[in-house]
């Protein structure tokens, strides 16, 4: 008979027991066990799928160790997925997937839905007025008051060119939640998957739904810090080869967003020299030109299952030294990092 060493839920490993398959009332766990075993053996034999022969009395320690680590990783990623979905405040679901290696959830990352300002920085400037429109956009709607055109068309898709700001209706406007000028503030509408890339770029993000051209996809959030603090942190991050600094340089360069420890799904979006997302500056409840919100819109139709990327050298975007978003102002560029985006037009380096 075949026997399986069973770890009982809620019991210490000292209580593990050997059980025949007839005692296993966990078909999904057994399926994962056999799949993990065959995957490991296939890798050891250069892709040739193998089965353990009946004459084999026990799995080799390396195989058993891999299966245990894979099972623990699966549990950790499932818990992380549940935590992400508890914390997010938008419609789209967040999935997590790693079929590449044994990497688990990031240890020092905390999911947030909006900017986390450092002491002394006010990301909401106490706006006390809004438009009086009953049906936006009208002559006195928010974009017109700011001297710009409405950013969206009747289908709620972006219609302005990159570099132009987006002024959405705010919490003091008379219009309701269905106003066509309330897009970014509603958050991500698409289900997305944080997945492990197979070419050394760490984690990435792919969409699980089709995204049409000029659609809002996600917002880039993190800690809002001064540029002086960003300079200090940048030097520390350089030693780790890992930083997520995004300069808010729409009007000046006084502030930076640091998504290293606090961020949302955008923390995991990778760079591409031929991206499918574009950066836009957005103003809603804060009209301070030094503190725009950063929104990512699709540049073309994106198929379900396709990875989401943006160019870290875009205006108002970032220039990275790690495998995910990490923006450095020209004065902080130190290391030329090889680009792994694989695009035909790849520039060869991230900076």
Phi/psi for 214 (5° steps) reads 65, 30
pLDDT at 177 over 60: yes
> From the annotation, which residues make up the binding site for Zn(2+)?
131, 133, 136, 141-142, 169, 173, 175, 179, 273, 339, 341, 346
Q: Which pLDDT tens digit goes with each residue over 143-169?
A: 999 999 999 998 999 999 999 999 999
> From the annotation, which residues make up the binding site?
131, 133, 136, 141-142, 169, 173, 175, 179, 201-203, 270-271, 273, 312, 339-341, 346
The residue among 15 and 241 whose pLDDT is bigger is: 15
Q: Which pLDDT tens digit goes with each residue over 185-225?
A: 999 999 999 999 998 889 999 999 999 999 999 999 999 99
Q: What is d(CA 302, CA 49) in angstroms, rounded to the nearest whole number? A: 34
For the chain, percent of residues with pLDDT exceeding 90: 65
Q: Which pLDDT tens digit goes with each residue over 210-264?
A: 999 999 999 999 999 999 999 888 888 766 666 688 899 898 889 999 999 999 9
Catalytic residue ranges: 220, 312
Q: What DSSP string describes 183-243?
A: SGGG---S-EEEEE-SSS--EEEEESS-B-TT-EEEEE--EEEEHHHHHHHHHHHHHHT--
Q: What is the mean pLDDT of residues 2-10?
A: 90
What is the structure's pLDDT at 195?
Answer: 98
Q: What DSSP string describes 97-158?
A: E--SSS--S-TT-EE-SS-EEPTT--SS---------SSSS-TTSHHHHTTS--SB-TTS-B
The residue among 279 and 45 whose pLDDT is bigger is: 279
Tell me the whole-structure pTM to 2 decimals: 0.86
Q: How far is CA 54 from CA 27, 37, 51, 59, 224, in A?
A: 21, 15, 9, 11, 60
Domains contained in the chain, CATH given: 3-46+62-87 (2.40.50), 94-310 (2.170.270.10)
What is the structure's pLDDT at 321?
Answer: 37
Q: Which pLDDT tens digit goes with each residue over 45-63?
A: 765 545 555 556 788 889 9
What is the structure's pLDDT at 50?
Answer: 52
Q: Which pLDDT tens digit goes with each residue over 74-89?
A: 999 999 999 999 999 9
């Amino acid at each position: 008979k075949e026997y399986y060493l069973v770890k009982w839920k809620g019991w210490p490993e000292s209580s593990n027991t050997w059980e025949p398959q007839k005692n296993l009332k966990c078909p999904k766990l057994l399926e994962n066990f056999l799949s993990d075993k065959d995957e490991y053996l296939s890798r050891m034999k250069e892709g040739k799928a193998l089965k353990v022969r009946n004459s084999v009395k026990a799995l080799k320690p390396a195989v058993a160790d891999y299966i245990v680590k894979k099972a623990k990783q699966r549990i950790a990623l499932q818990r992380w997925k549940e935590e992400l979905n508890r914390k997010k405040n938008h419609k789209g679901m967040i999935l997590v997937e790693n079929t590449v290696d044994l990497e688990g959830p990031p240890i020092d990352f905390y999911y947030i839905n909006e900017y986390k300002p450092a002491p002394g920085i006010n990301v909401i400037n106490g706006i006390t007025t809004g438009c009086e429109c009953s049906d936006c956009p009208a002559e006195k709607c928010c974009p017109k008051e700011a001297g710009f055109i409405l950013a969206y068309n009747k289908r709620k898709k972006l219609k302005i060119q990159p570099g132009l700001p987006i002024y959405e209706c705010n919490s003091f406007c008379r219009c309701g939640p269905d106003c066509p000028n309330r897009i970014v503030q509603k958050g991500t509408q698409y289900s997305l998957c944080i997945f492990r890339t197979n070419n050394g770029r760490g984690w990435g993000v792919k969409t699980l739904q089709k995204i049409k051209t000029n659609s809002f996809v996600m917002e880039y959030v993190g800690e809002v810090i001064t540029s002086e603090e960003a300079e200090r942190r940048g030097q520390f991050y350089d030693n780790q080869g890992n930083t997520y600094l995004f300069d808010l340089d729409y009007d000046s360069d006084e502030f930076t967003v640091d998504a290293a420890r606090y961020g949302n799904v955008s923390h995991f979006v990778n760079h591409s020299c031929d991206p499918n997302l574009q950066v836009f500056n957005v103003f809603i409840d804060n009209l301070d030109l030094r503190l725009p919100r950063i929104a990512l819109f699709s540049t073309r139709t994106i198929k379900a299952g396709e990875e989401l990327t943006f160019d870290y050298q875009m205006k108002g975007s970032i220039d990275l030294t790690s495998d995910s978003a990490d923006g450095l102002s020209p004065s902080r560029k130190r290391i030329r990092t090889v680009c792994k985006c694989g695009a035909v037009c790849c520039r060869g380096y991230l900076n």
